[in-house]
Structure 1
Amino acid sequence: MAENTDNVLYLRGRHISNSINAENMDALIPPRRSDKCLWRLLNAGIHLRVRLCLARMDFYGVIQCGPIKYYDNHFLTAIVERWRRETHTFHLTVGEATITLQDVALIWGLNIDGIPITGVDTAYNKHTLQQRCATWLGFSPTSSQIKGAHLYLTSSLDHCLNNMINDQSTEEDVAQYSRCVALMIIGGCMFPDSEGAAVKLMYLQFLEDIELVNTYSWGSAVLAYLYRELCDTSMRLKVDLCGPVQILPSSTGIYLEEQAADVLQGLPFPPYGARWRRGFSWTHTAHHSVRIMRDMLDMMVEGQFLWTVYDMESPSVGTILDGDRNHLCRSACALINFHIVEMHRPERCLRQFGMRQGIPPPATNFDNFHKLTRQGRNNFDWATYHIDFVQMWNDRYNFVIGGNYVIPGTPAITVEYVGWYHRISQIVLSPPVVHSNIMGYHPVDAN
């Protein structure tokens, strides 16, 4: 059953795109950054023993991708304006696209299979949190270094810089140090917090047994977190984008050959995100150009959007996505991160998997779940509260979307899809004054 015109973008009246007008065309949505402590530590250098431990946790791919020195806030703003909470997709002129489990797995090398990140959100007092940090991280933070259930990342940075691992360090020292770095990755990149450079200590429970860390589905938790941040920001519930913005759409780059040395040391082959590590040049980039980005997306036509960006025959891809996990990327399942539950919608963007796109089935209304927060829910068991979605995740392979792969030279979308999509979507976001009547691209009043 296809969706009708009225019930798809039913939240459009509250959407951020409604605030775009001639007086407000250059308003930006900046990303909130929390990763500076992590990269300061990495610049100081961490011992191979720690890097190998992080690789066993499946976190090392995030480090291999390195920092992003500059974010293109204009582009981020333009794509947030096209995110729709109803469908968990970007509505482009050429169809729907989204960030999928495949993207998280290949860009950062995170595990997308395994146990969901959920459970009891235990409300420890500050003294108990200090004891837990002493046990699992090797240091007891001061009272000022803990705010609520958050640990400021500067405390982990100071501890790591003053207690560097060497060849003589004990295995316990290495494990504690590695958990410190892992928390900096979690709080700095994967789940950056609105408190600033801090990490929720509820994630520490998943790091206690080093050998079990990679059995959890960190990738699906990251995607749930990103979806929620995109949903809240696009509905004007936040003024900046707090989330793993490094995995949002980016221009392709080149593979850094020097990272091949990692493989020789027993470390994993760098994920795709490491191939895109390039210096950002402002020489030929327009400033104050959100209206240009918006206008270019408004005028994009079929053939200008690259639906498939990964070489699925590459050996490096095969080491991250084996046969089963490759199928999992097309699972229309629930993504879970404690109180956050978001739906993965591969059926709406099959072209990203090289498949032919037809009219998708109706999307589930998730408005009630967007209202859930952790506030006032001390010692709450989110796994039990979300038991239906946990069960859905456990059955994730039963929700894999099938389809027909596109044969070269044949259409990637059905004729019915084109007419349907133009009826249900909002294609143009720029105010009418921006578009030129002259052939070719002529940005109007772009400073």
Structure 2
Amino acid sequence: MEYDHHLLTALAERWRPETHSFHLSIGEATITLQDVGMLLGLCVDGLPITGNELYPSDIDEYLERLLGFCPKRDGKTAIRLASLRQHLELHRDRVKISNLEALQRARCHVAFLLAGCFFSNKSQNKIDLFVLRLLEDPEFLWTPYVEHMHTLPDGCRHGEHIWRSRTYLHYYYIVEGHYPDRVMRQFGCRQVIPDDPLNETETQILHRIKRSSHHRNWERDHAIYVQEWHSQANRVVEGTPIAYPEAPPPYRSWYHSKTVQFIQDPSHEPDAGGYHGHSESVHALSDELSHHM
């Protein structure tokens, strides 16, 4: 690409940082949101690009998960674009790749776009790690109360000592498990593979209990679960505090083997691994139809 250095020099001299505009002899002019939309085709009414710059404790593992490989870094907070380019060229001829590999490869391409057009730096050969945060999945606020905890009445923190208690919640005939060990990131802790909840048979029995017109002593009938509640202080789940809500690879592998990937007709029973048997084919068919609509 050829540059008109004389024009660029003239514009640089006319730029006023106080007003973010060019002060020309005929008046002010600048780059507007209209220019961004018309020239680049980008959405200009979305969320602001902001957030914290906290880096994960294991940066190499983070990059491996996000991009599919660990590129060379320039210091601690930037990666070299040449490393991204070499990785893409090395795997350019691979056609049969998984959905995850396709997503990781797309992130590499987008990283080039971000580094070269929108968030370029003086060196023009690296991209800051916090820019890569834009390529992550939509952000989920794991600890929404931290910044407001000190402003809340004391009553809101009553019982804080059992917030992470693995116990059972009661309402007469209703008994439901409380499993904070499955959501430790909501408490600012590292998530590990949790213990199993109640077995499926026992859960189904509890869920089938209906309110009866007969007089029943639920404290007696649910004595084993009531005892669990009274032992709540001894069942608090310990956790390792972390600054960044990351989940280690063993947990992610375990979770993806158990969770349901796609929403489907609830009349279909999931298989033993937790996935709906026909969900992937339904999802693929939906994608194919959307391309023709």
Fold conserved between structures, TM > 0.5: no
TM-score (norm 1): 0.30
Question: What's the TM-score, normalizing by structure 2?
Answer: 0.45
Higher Rg of the two aligned structures: 2
Larger relative contact order (Cα-Cα within 8 Å, sequence gap ≥ 6): 1
